[in-house]
Amino acid sequence: MAAPRVGTALAGRSPRRALPTAGACVRRSMVICPCHRPPPPGSPQESACRRGPRAPLAPRPLPARNQPPPAEPSGQGGRATVAEAIRVVVFGAHPDDDDIKAGGTAALWSDRGDDVLFVSLTNGDAGHQGLAGGELARRRRAEAEAAARELGGVRYRVLDNHDGALTPSLDLRTQIIAIIREHQADVVLLPRPWDYHPDHRATAQVVQDAAYMVTVPNVAAFAPHLRRNPVFAYVADHFTRPCPFRPDVVLDTTPVIERKLRALHRHTSQVYEWLPYNAGTLAEVPADEAARLVWLRRWLEGDQRQAHERRDALARWYGAPRAAAAQYAEAFEICELGRRPEEAELRRLFPLG
Ligand SMILES: [Zn+2]
């Protein structure tokens, strides 16, 4: 198992990258991460799962890296101006989780001039009925990179850990800390630890364990520590035990939903092969690409539900008229292990324009 090349993603990066110019469970009623086998029929997990069915802005300067925080209480507070771009790291277990849970928001961030890095903690080498090992891992990495291009300016890193075997080890925690530090993250997204898939739970645990520790100089000491804790936020799910998801921030992703669809379309080994096989619907998959894109829209039903079920939250962030018009949405819950932002900082950090 090759060690992740921590830091290489940022090597040689210009202070401001170019902007793009252009713009689950498996069954139709399921929207939890579709990477893998859905929960057993009749299980609590399945029950929980079934509950849910702009023009680019001018580039904004990224703040200098490793800057100390403004004079304010340790671990709290915001940046100086609303014009600064931010850095985001999205962690998922498999090389499609991030796209599914935060692809629309990532596209909005990218359009705003922010820097978004998707990280998959496994290489996805268990997610297929006919392929495995290195061949599948390489295919899934290529699919992830293609998906990131569809979102526009998003980068994707796939760590070389085996799919289905992820554990929240101390070694992995050290890698996560280094990635967050190298990226100088302002915002970190992660799954909640209540989930049917053990890799998802392990991802949640290990990223939670990295929160705060990113500010401790003598932990993972070769990567310069952050002077303040990033904002950590959970991606949405429909699990209710021990506590349901709380939509602290809800984003209208309607303007970028076609890009998210095309990003999912790039995960051919998953959305047209493994997941339909796993769900017993492989015979339904069209062969023609145009027909596949139509068929694939069922994967956006979860985003439609987020918009439908979160009208009040959308109205808080956008006002009633836009909330009423939103067709697709993604929601996030602030994790109390990271910095606790006030509303004004949330409005600056998240692409709510
Ligand atoms: Zn997954």
* Series of mean pLDDT values for 10-residue runs along the chain (353 residues): 34 34 32 39 37 37 46 38 81 98 98 97 98 97 98 96 98 98 98 97 98 98 97 97 97 98 98 97 97 97 97 97 98 98 97 94
Output the CA 147–ligand 1 centroid distance in Å: 15
The pLDDT of residue 31 is 32
Task: Please report the pLDDT score of residue 84 as a whole number.
Answer: 86
Distance 206 CA to ligand 1 centre (A): 15
Q: Which residues surround ligand 1, an ion (CB under 5 A)?
A: 33, 35, 93-94, 97
121 CA distance to ligand 1 centroid (A)? 10
What are the C-alpha distances in Å from 184 to residues 10, 116, 225?
A: 10, 11, 9
Residue 306 domain-assigned? yes
Contact 253, 303 (CB under 8 A): yes
Confidence (pLDDT) at 23: 31
Ligand 1 centroid from CA 133, angstroms = 17
Tell me the CA–centroid distance for residue 33 and ligand 1, in Å.
5
Per the domain annotation, does 69 fall within a domain? no
Residue 186: the pLDDT is 98
Give the Å distances, CA to CA, from 343 to 11, 116, 236: 34, 22, 19
In a domain, 229, yes or no: yes
Position 62 scores a pLDDT of 53
State the distance from the centre of ligand 1 to the C-alpha of 340, rounded, in angstroms: 27
Q: Look at residue 14 and tell me if it is in a domain.
A: no
* Separation CA 145–CA 245 (nearest Å): 29
CATH code of the domain containing 270? 3.40.50.10320
- Which residues contact residue 262 at a Cβ distance below 8 angstroms, ignoring those fewer than 6 apart? 150, 293
Q: Under a CB-based contact definition with an 8 Å cutoff, are residues 266 and 351 in contact? A: no
User: Total domain count for the chain?
Assistant: 1
CA of 185 to the centre of ligand 1 (A): 22
CA distances (Å), origin 61, targets 85, 227, 260: 6, 20, 26
What pTM does this model have? 0.80
Report the amino acid identity of residue 260: K
Distance 140 CA to ligand 1 centre (A): 12
Is 79 a domain residue? no
> What range defines the domain where residue 185 resides?
87-349
pLDDT score of 345: 97
Q: What is the pLDDT of residue 11?
A: 31
Residue 127 lies in a domain: yes
Task: Give the model's pLDDT for residue 100.
Answer: 97
Q: Residue 277: inside a domain, yes or no?
A: yes
CA of 59 to the centre of ligand 1 (A): 32
Given the structure tokens 């829209």, which residue do they identify?
Answer: 297
Residue 161 lies in a domain: yes
